Structure 1
């Protein structure tokens, strides 16, 4: 009897131990699950705050800055962090347009550096170095194309498919500017893909889509850039120019608007169109106009970054011309001048004044 009671008591104790163990497991599971929920809420809140702050403060602050190198470093460093919040909250599609446009510009700047190295190597008759620089240039263009294309995809997700005849409702001027930036990102994606000689997957009709979508933007408000972008597409794509229009006349008008506003991005589009047509004299005129305008009109304080970006690209185009002909870049303080301008100045100098 005693043995039986002891056995029964042992079974009860064992059952109670199992119950306590099960209860502890359930409590731990609920606690851990609760921690997961709390963590998710914290992450989501942090993501929403970060996205809102970046959109409302970081981007405007950057646009007022003329430090392109710092903007480049910021976009490359923070894009993975900010985009990762899309795992716990809404995808930051609008912010992504700016991040990937800027990051694409970083890669494109590297491609331009490699191009100059290749040109210098060709002048030095160093075929191996020239070939290596060309390969690195194409790789950098491929990286740029991927980044620009991601910006274009996020643009379309946020604003809707562009070029359909329907324009999005813009919340504010920054939202409208980011729309313009997204269109530029799409066009740059196609251009970079072509220069990379690789397949990235950029639709070949991006140019015509961008041209139509620029009609959603006020041309005068945005320094002539929408019309300049549209006219550049007309100049580059055969048959794209509407009857009765003249792409280069439109570009000249846009240039004046940009110069007056202190945001000279239209000069870049004009230069690209001139290069595409092989019009070296027009290209030189655009570079001269840009240099003269910089002396006459300061950058728009609100959009200083955009103007600085335009100047950087104009300098890059000028550098390529100088390296091709002289083996070195545009001399400091001489943007808007050319090697043969100096030659003419020497030939017409009155030597009597030196005696």
Structure 2
């Protein structure tokens, strides 16, 4: 009797399970298309970097990645969620880096070593996520820098191509900060520099030319004869400023840091602050302004920590220790706790 009953039960279960499989594929396609058409543009227009990076990037990535088990991998969307997740872990690595700098300045060797190890672990996590962004960018648009530009259908695909290429360079830099433990290929940066030729520099606020110039400065032999990377980078930063977008200025500051040119680094940081504070960043791409601001703030925090033992004073990005206006008015030294409590 039990055997007789078990047969229709098993048959029914098999039908149900096969039905679930039929549902998964259309669900995956719907979510992938919805994310591409609505989630990505929404995130690009978000002014909340923490919510976008540690919320959307961390929260959506594995859900959307799981559909690659039943449909083609939605690489366009996943390159965005992975780069956002990379920004989240990078911000944690930067906090550990600042703790390392403070401990080193205080002569606390044990704490400095511990913070340094934590930072390296988090930079490795960041490099892994950014390396996946590179892979998804290649999957979505073809190999970078192979002399064949991808065919892009709309602004969403163009911005994905741009930020995916930029993040591919950052993958290599994050890996270097993690003692090259991930193994991001060394030629990724040079490929990205060539890929910048496929992007509309004027439409995208000078970022493609800035990215290309950073690669020229970073990769020996990458610059063509007669090229002036710093001049191109400065022109890109100034063009970005005229359009209210601080990303190219941020790349100028990053290049100054990478080339140990503190004057250029500070100039880039100050330009980012000026553009950001003007409050005219294109509303559809606010998240790029937030990324630029936060990266410049970290570079500023390193300078302040090294020279003053503390991070940049509140709302004082663009001021530096020892300057006429070094952010002292915004510092805790002017804060009267008794006055505040009473």
Structure 1 and Structure 2 fold alike (TM over 0.5)? yes
Matched, 1:54 2:54: no
Matched, 1:318 2:300: yes
Q: Distance in 2 between matches of 1:133 and 1:291?
A: 28
CA contact (8 A) 1:93 1:155 kept: yes
Question: Which residue number in structure 1 is paired with residue 315 of structure 2?
Answer: 333
CA contact (8 A) 1:260 1:297 kept: no
Q: Distance in 2 between matches of 1:171 and 1:34?
A: 40
Cα deviation digits, residues 239-278 of structure 1 (max 9, x gap): 2111111001001111122112222111121112111221
1:199 shift after superposition: 2.3
CA contact (8 A) 2:319 2:327 kept: no
SS of match in other structure, 2:73? coil
Matched length = 327
Q: Distance in 2 between matches of 1:333 and 1:344?
A: 11
CA contact (8 A) 1:259 1:297 kept: no
Q: Distance in 2 between matches of 1:272 and 1:95?
A: 27
Q: Structure 1, unaligned stretches of length 5 or more?
A: 1-16, 347-355
CA contact (8 A) 2:238 2:249 kept: no
1:219 shift after superposition: 0.6
Counterpart selection for 2:220 from 238, 246, 263 = 238
Any residues of structure 2 matched to 1:144-293 within 5 Å, and which? 144-293=126-275
Question: Which residue number in structure 2 is paired with residue 300 of structure 1?
Answer: 282
1:185 shift after superposition: 1.8
TM-score (norm 1): 0.88
1:325 shift after superposition: 0.3
1:90 shift after superposition: 2.1
1:110 shift after superposition: 0.9
Question: Which residue number in structure 2 is paired with residue 113 of structure 1?
Answer: 95
Matched, 1:63 2:44: yes
Q: Distance in 1 between matches of 2:288 and 2:95?
A: 21
1:238 shift after superposition: 1.7
1:290 shift after superposition: 1.8
CA contact (8 A) 2:250 2:272 kept: no
Any residues of structure 2 matched to 1:74-89 within 5 Å, and which? 74-89=56-71
Q: Distance in 2 between matches of 1:67 and 1:53?
A: 21
Cα deviation digits, residues 20-76 of structure 1 (max 9, x gap): 94x972x54543332222101211122111111111111111111110110122211
CA contact (8 A) 2:168 2:192 kept: yes
Cα deviation digits, residues 167-186 of structure 1 (max 9, x gap): 11112110011011111121
Cα deviation digits, residues 226-248 of structure 1 (max 9, x gap): 11000000011122111111001
TM-score (norm 2): 0.91
Q: In terms of Rg, which structure is larger? A: 1
Counterpart selection for 2:79 from 93, 97, 101 = 97
1:335 shift after superposition: 1.1
Q: Structure 2, unaligned stretches of length 5 or more?
A: 329-342
Question: Which residue number in structure 2 is paired with residue 350 of structure 1?
Answer: none
